[in-house]
Chain A
């Protein structure tokens, strides 16, 4: 197993620095929101986590498509790794959204289009993982996973669109309206917000690299085990 390449080590430290800076910006630099209070600060990382979930999904679908076209194993590796990270961050997105909603709207869950879509995305992710676990042949596994990730990726935004359209026809009055439009008034908030997006993008990239290395190691072990089995025979 090759030691961590120098670029990855640098990336690690860079990401940690960005996280520290991001935390500072979100918790101290950004002003406190008038109506919602301190809990609004969760919003910066909550949206950033959702962003990573969506980004990971996109990368998985693209790698899947690339695998189908090129049939190179590494694209399947990227897809698998990206999905795993995506699930984690989508989970973070949903739970942090719930924590944020609780004091504001006095409920742990709202049928808000974005929250529902995030849940649907998480379900598609989970289905993807179950699909992979259910196929033994590596080539078939990669093919099916690719097909499913492409369909899932097209489907989730369409779901969001449909729910959103429904809401615009039947506006449900609860809570302080659209969170993204409200509360972004102050420029300092915007700084914290966009910096969080940047930070989390780096977190995604770093984790993806590490996960890819893990996958590579796992496959190396598989090959080694197969060599042993065939040597016995």
Chain B
């Protein structure tokens, strides 16, 4: 491993490393956000159906 070469070469790897780390964290946060949105929507639909059923039952 030639010490003279080392400092020049490794910058791109550093960038890659940080990109991967931050990228993964961001992806995970995005997945959480998406799942939140999906669940909220489904819950709204489910609650709406329940309200409709209750209305029907009451006439």
Contact = CB atoms under 8 A, between A and B. Distances in A.
The bracket for how many chain A residues form the interface is 35 or more
Interface residues of B, number: 31
Chain A residues touching B, majority SS: helix
B9 to A, nearest CB: 6
Contacts of A14: none
Contacts of A45: 17-18, 21
Interface in A44-71: 45-46, 49
Interface string B1-34: 1010011111101101110110011001100100
Interface stretch (A119-127, A129-137, A179-187, A221-229): A221-229
Interface in B31-51: 32, 35-36, 39-40, 42-43, 46-47, 49-50
Interface of A: 1, 23, 27, 32, 35-42, 45-46, 49, 85, 88, 91-92, 95-96, 99-100, 102-104, 106, 203, 207, 210-211, 213-214, 217-218, 220-221, 224-225, 227-228, 231
5 contacts: A38-B7, A38-B10, A40-B10, A218-B39, A221-B42
